[in-house]
Structure 1
Amino acid sequence: MVAVFNKELLSWYLITLKLRETVESGIPRSSTGTTKSLELPEENDQQLQKQQHVPSGSLQVPINEDGENCEEAASSPEPEWIISIKEKLEQARQDDSAGSWEKLSIYRVPHYLREGDIKAYVPQIVSVGPYHHGKRRLRQMDQHKWRSLHRVLKRTNQELQLYLDSMKELEERARACYEGTITLSSNEFVEMLVLDGCFVLELFQGAAVGFQRLGYARNDPVFAMRGSMHAIHRDMIMLENQLSLFVLDMLLGIQLGEPDQKGKVAKLAIRFFDPLMPTDEPLTKSDMNRFGSSLGHTNIFDPFSDLGGLHCLDVFRRSLLSSGPKPVPRIWLKKRPNDIRVADKRRQQLIHCVSELREAGIKFKKRKTDRFWDIKFKNGILRIPRLLIHDGTKSLFLNLIAFEQCHLDCSNDITSYVIFMDNLINSHEDVGYLHYFGIIEHWLGSDAEVADLFNRLCQEVVFDINNSYLSQLSEDVNRYYNHRWNAWRATLKHRYFNNPWAIISFFAACILLVLTFAQTFYGVYGYYRPRS
């Protein structure tokens, strides 16, 4: 065995060895099969002798009798599956070190939620962002996107390169907002940001000030308040069909020549998506006047000035929940200190259905407020705000729920409300009763469709009851429901006081019972105490 510690020296040694073997090819090998002692050239031998004393951590490379490097044999190429495993581990290390998960805000809808209704999560007319970019069925809208970009450049008298350069600066930050790998190249991604972003802003501004003021014809097939606009609303509110708000802020700032446009896109988005609100209480006239004044850069109070957001879906969700404080969640389940609770699918029943609550004497009344989630309970009366259900409500709620399931930095208020209503509604009779009192208004075919909608919204959703803003209210309702006297009183009312004739019959029976008791008493009393 010869200890070799220099790769370059080893190469020269092997070359010399091969030359010597070629010259001495006629000399037979030893029959013992043991390793021969080979004489090295004097120069190489002296260099090797200088390296006899080496540190303990040095690597010794053995040479076999054929002059082959044993280290090279040992370091032969690794199997492909081992290389693949190492690459995946390296990618995992980079993901952890980069903290990329913290930047996510636009998610792909999980498969367990998609199984319910995939059309509710996939755009049907227009794509926004990279997830559905370039799909065949959505390409028809691309020509209108290019028209909007042309209109913006013509109206602002700006160069396209200005928009491309600004989006190039935001590319890395924008990519980090999306879940998974984006297959678009750098140029394609930047082009998508400019094209989709300008298209979205044209829709927002056109809905606020009128499309004709932006230069579009009255009969434009897209940029007009026509029937197709409702489908565009529904597509652009989907979780997988979003652009980050800072991208839209940057593009609007370039158009207006004022870089600091933070918050204005959020106001435009709220105005644009107002038809999707799950209530028939639109913005008041005074609020709309304030909103219009805020677009004119005045100092008048703006009701939406405190809204931030990650993207349009987040902005819309914040606008739904920003109308006032909600109750603080109360812990239902007893747990040990420092115990980590996990959401349990078996414990999502907050309250009983409408029919059962009615039997316990609980009444239902409509609460006059546009905050559809603001439910109150007091003295046996459950006050629920009016809820308007249309053909876009299902997709809206599903995408809001999906966002709350994916994004850990937001509450589960929409999910809590939907599950609460799902508990209330078990059949079309429950829907009919709520509709009778004006709590539910719907444009669907029948009450049974409404019941089916709520029963399907949260089929695969798991959430923590203890983290619901309706937990305290549900506990109060259940306590009232479990009180026997309330059930008895309700039964008495339903059976004997449900109409005037039943009330008259009840009192007549009571009077007859009292008279019978008096007659019996005096008869017995006269028997034992006869008159003298």
Structure 2
Amino acid sequence: MVAVFNKDLLSWYLITLKLRETLESGNPSSSSNPANRSIEYSQQQQEQKLQHDPTESLQVVIKENGENFREEPNSPLSEWEISIKEKLEQARQDDVASSWSKISIYRIPHYLRDSSGDDKAYAPQIVSIGPYHHGKRRVRQMERHKWRSLDHVLKRTKHDMRLYLNSMKEMEERARSCYEGPISLSSNEFAEMLVLDGCFVLELFRGAVEGFQQLGYSRNDPVFAMRGSMHSIQRDMIMLENQLPLFVLDILLGIQLGNPDMKGLVASLALRFFDPLMPTDEPLTKSDRNKLESSLGSSATATFDPLSHHGGLHCLEVFRRSLLRTGPQPAPRIWIKRRSNGNRVADKRRQQLIHCVTELTEAGIKFNKRKTDRFWDIKFKDGILRIPRLLIHDGTKSLFLNLIAFEQCHLDCSSEITSYVIFMDNLINSPEDVGYLHYRGIIEHWLGSDAEVADLFNRLCQEVVFDINNSYLSPLSEAVNRYYNHRWNTWCASLRHKYFSNPWAIISLVAAVVLLLLTLAQTYYTIYGYYRPASS
């Protein structure tokens, strides 16, 4: 059985086979024939070509009876085939259903990062927490301060470093599963990162409540003091890509305070630390703060945590739930549920909840400030839209973008923040809309101009997937739109705008009405006297 590799070679093989049979039969002239030597030379050329380019082979097997069939190649796999097999094996590992459900700290999707036009809103500029930005050049300067914080912890608690490292080693697999995609850090590097970043975060949290001097830091410390850089650190630490799992912080704080089973205190410390980022006036009441401080001063045996019964994923998720505490419970309309069976994909063409401020005021809708610290709690009744006060500063954009990104990425997360931001985006189309809301006390901002605020809201939800029917503000928006579409309300609003906008307009209107009445009276008596003249 002989293997032949292509049609040309097969022809030469048959000719050679015939010549060989002639030679074996004793014909001496066959070997001296120039044609035969030419055939043998061509056969050698074909064999050399085959050796240089084996990819053209067909591997046809010739049997003694003249039949042929294809045979599977026996050559080893090529690098290309090996690469494909490796990719398939990696895909099988990535497709484990349980691994996706454990992820809670996500990388920002490219469509959100590109649409915002501001990478600084998602990437830390001063301090990195977690593996995503670990070791990057712009955050290396903070590393020495992290080691200082760890040294303070070890001196204050008189613990051995191995106690913290071993505890993180035990949690390594669980901690890695919280992050999206493979982490390039080795086992030792990952455990070291958890201990170093976790202790740094806890020192900042505790210092914000107890005071940094109580923890052993100098009042002139460049980081562990309430200086101007603290706001930038807070903004970095609330980013989605810059998080540690909350259970890691719970374990580290439990070791420091001598209570390994303690849970919940870290969430309260985080709320106190991130308090300046709240877009409300009084996010944490004075009594809550007093309870929190007393819990820290009593060996943390009776901790106070308003969110402890909910658990927690990381600091951003805890911060979000604190914003929405006793918050809205959006329920899609029944006919939408029945029609979609829960498998509806959001339509990007239907994200207009409401008209802008200018159009609504022209339709007679009034805007008032609602006195509550729950900025999302908007009400509408009798043509009056009551909106709580919203504080906007230079960290508001990054805060909202990361909250929206978390709602977009996490499957078990509702979309209250996204609904609110889209609602405000619909209201604000121009600097004039911002100026009116500022005049009504609804928006207070520390930015350069009203145009910057309008641009901020107009950019927040670009490329965001949002279902208008799942918004908790959808019923309110429908009520506002019904009022807006009623022509009588528009006519009344136009009358008030033109003739009752100032006292002089009112006086002119009253004078015109009186003049009209006098003219009608004069006309009436003139006609009456004509048909019924006075008797002489």
TM-score, structure 2 normalization: 0.84
In structure 2, the partner of 1:74 is 73
Shift of residue 287 of structure 1? 2.3
In structure 1, the partner of 2:339 is 336
Shift of residue 90 of structure 1? 2.5
User: Residue deviations 1:266-290, cap 9 Å, x none?
Assistant: 1110010001001232533222222
In structure 2, the partner of 1:55 is none
User: Residue deviations 1:209-239, cap 9 Å, x none?
Assistant: 0111111111111111111111100000001
Select the residue among 487, 490, 493 that pairs with 1:490: 493
Shift of residue 137 of structure 1? 1.6
Shift of residue 98 of structure 1? 5.0
In structure 2, the partner of 1:291 is 292
Shift of residue 75 of structure 1? 2.9
In structure 2, the CA distance between the partners of 1:305 and 1:333, relative to structure 1 (3 Å rule), is: closer
* CA distance in structure 2 between the partners assigned to 1:238 and 1:170 by the alignment: 23
User: Residue deviations 1:276-317, cap 9 Å, x none?
Assistant: 001232533222222223433476975444342200110110
In structure 2, the CA distance between the partners of 1:71 and 1:292, relative to structure 1 (3 Å rule), is: farther
In structure 1, the partner of 2:466 is 463
Identical aligned residues as a percent: 78
Q: 1:224 is matched by which residue type in structure 2? A: A
* CA distance in structure 2 between the partners assigned to 1:248 and 1:444 by the alignment: 35
CA contact (8 A) 1:331 1:466 kept: no
CA contact (8 A) 1:222 1:228 kept: yes
In structure 2, the CA distance between the partners of 1:335 and 1:510, relative to structure 1 (3 Å rule), is: farther
* CA distance in structure 2 between the partners assigned to 1:332 and 1:225 by the alignment: 53
Shift of residue 87 of structure 1? 2.5
Task: Tell me the SS of whatever aligns to 1:463.
Answer: coil
In structure 2, the partner of 1:118 is 119
Shift of residue 519 of structure 1? 2.1
* CA distance in structure 2 between the partners assigned to 1:373 and 1:473 by the alignment: 12
CA contact (8 A) 1:329 1:470 kept: no
CA contact (8 A) 1:290 1:302 kept: no
* CA distance in structure 2 between the partners assigned to 1:384 and 1:143 by the alignment: 46
In structure 2, the CA distance between the partners of 1:33 and 1:490, relative to structure 1 (3 Å rule), is: farther
Q: 2:475 aligned with 1:472, yes or no?
A: yes
- Unaligned 5+ segments in structure 1 are 2-28, 35-61
Q: 2:510 aligned with 1:507, yes or no?
A: yes
Task: Tell me the SS of whatever aligns to 2:96.
Answer: helix
In structure 2, the CA distance between the partners of 1:301 and 1:83, relative to structure 1 (3 Å rule), is: closer
Select the residue among 375, 388, 392 that pairs with 2:391: 388
Q: 2:523 aligned with 1:520, yes or no?
A: yes
In structure 2, the partner of 1:31 is 21
Task: Tell me the SS of whatever aligns to 1:498.
Answer: coil
Q: 2:387 is matched by which residue type in structure 1? A: I
In structure 2, the CA distance between the partners of 1:287 and 1:509, relative to structure 1 (3 Å rule), is: same
CA contact (8 A) 2:123 2:239 kept: yes
In structure 2, the CA distance between the partners of 1:184 and 1:516, relative to structure 1 (3 Å rule), is: same
In structure 2, the partner of 1:366 is 369
In structure 2, the partner of 1:12 is none
In structure 1, the partner of 2:247 is 246
Task: Tell me the SS of whatever aligns to 2:380.
Answer: strand
Select the residue among 427, 432, 435 that pairs with 1:424: 427
Q: 2:367 is matched by which residue type in structure 1? A: F
CA contact (8 A) 2:376 2:420 kept: yes
CA contact (8 A) 1:332 1:465 kept: no
* CA distance in structure 2 between the partners assigned to 1:371 and 1:163 by the alignment: 39
Shift of residue 33 of structure 1? 11
* CA distance in structure 1 between the partners assigned to 2:346 and 2:331 by the alignment: 18
- Name whichever of 193-202 and 501-510 sits farther off: 501-510
Shift of residue 514 of structure 1? 1.7
User: Residue deviations 1:510-530, cap 9 Å, x none?
Assistant: 122122222222322333344
TM-score, structure 1 normalization: 0.84
* CA distance in structure 2 between the partners assigned to 1:202 and 1:338 by the alignment: 48
CA contact (8 A) 2:264 2:304 kept: no
* CA distance in structure 2 between the partners assigned to 1:177 and 1:355 by the alignment: 45
Task: Tell me the SS of whatever aligns to 1:336.
Answer: helix
In structure 2, the CA distance between the partners of 1:300 and 1:80, relative to structure 1 (3 Å rule), is: closer
In structure 2, the partner of 1:450 is 453
In structure 2, the CA distance between the partners of 1:339 and 1:165, relative to structure 1 (3 Å rule), is: closer
In structure 2, the CA distance between the partners of 1:243 and 1:33, relative to structure 1 (3 Å rule), is: farther
User: Residue deviations 1:101-128, cap 9 Å, x none?
Assistant: 1111001101111112111000000000
Q: 1:220 is matched by which residue type in structure 2? A: D
CA contact (8 A) 1:326 1:374 kept: no
Alignment of 1:181-196 (within 5 A): 181-196=182-197
In structure 2, the CA distance between the partners of 1:73 and 1:423, relative to structure 1 (3 Å rule), is: closer
* CA distance in structure 2 between the partners assigned to 1:392 and 1:285 by the alignment: 24
In structure 1, the partner of 2:225 is 224
In structure 2, the partner of 1:89 is 88
* CA distance in structure 2 between the partners assigned to 1:191 and 1:448 by the alignment: 46
Q: 1:31 is matched by which residue type in structure 2? A: E
Shift of residue 331 of structure 1? 6.5
* CA distance in structure 1 between the partners assigned to 2:340 and 2:305 by the alignment: 44
Select the residue among 341, 351, 355 that pairs with 1:352: 355
In structure 2, the CA distance between the partners of 1:356 and 1:33, relative to structure 1 (3 Å rule), is: farther
In structure 2, the CA distance between the partners of 1:302 and 1:316, relative to structure 1 (3 Å rule), is: closer
Select the residue among 312, 318, 330 that pairs with 2:315: 312
- Name whichever of 116-125 and 519-528 sits farther off: 519-528
User: Residue deviations 1:338-397, cap 9 Å, x none?
Assistant: 373211111111101100000000000000011011111100000010100111111111
In structure 2, the CA distance between the partners of 1:147 and 1:270, relative to structure 1 (3 Å rule), is: same
* CA distance in structure 2 between the partners assigned to 1:146 and 1:477 by the alignment: 56
CA contact (8 A) 1:105 1:177 kept: yes
* CA distance in structure 2 between the partners assigned to 1:378 and 1:194 by the alignment: 53
* CA distance in structure 2 between the partners assigned to 1:530 and 1:32 by the alignment: 151
* CA distance in structure 2 between the partners assigned to 1:354 and 1:511 by the alignment: 35
Task: Tell me the SS of whatever aligns to 2:364.
Answer: coil
Task: Tell me the SS of whatever aligns to 1:306.
Answer: helix
* CA distance in structure 2 between the partners assigned to 1:33 and 1:201 by the alignment: 93
* CA distance in structure 2 between the partners assigned to 1:106 and 1:79 by the alignment: 39
CA contact (8 A) 2:330 2:471 kept: no
CA contact (8 A) 1:390 1:443 kept: yes
CA contact (8 A) 1:307 1:319 kept: no
Task: Tell me the SS of whatever aligns to 1:388.
Answer: strand
Alignment of 1:149-164 (within 5 A): 149-164=150-165
CA contact (8 A) 1:290 1:303 kept: no
Q: 2:490 is matched by which residue type in structure 1? A: A
- Unaligned 5+ segments in structure 2 are 2-18, 25-60
- Name whichever of 205-214 and 95-104 sits farther off: 95-104
Shift of residue 326 of structure 1? 4.4
User: Number of aligned pairs?
Assistant: 475
CA contact (8 A) 2:146 2:197 kept: yes
* CA distance in structure 1 between the partners assigned to 2:112 and 2:302 by the alignment: 44
User: Residue deviations 1:68-94, cap 9 Å, x none?
Assistant: xx9997232223333322322232223
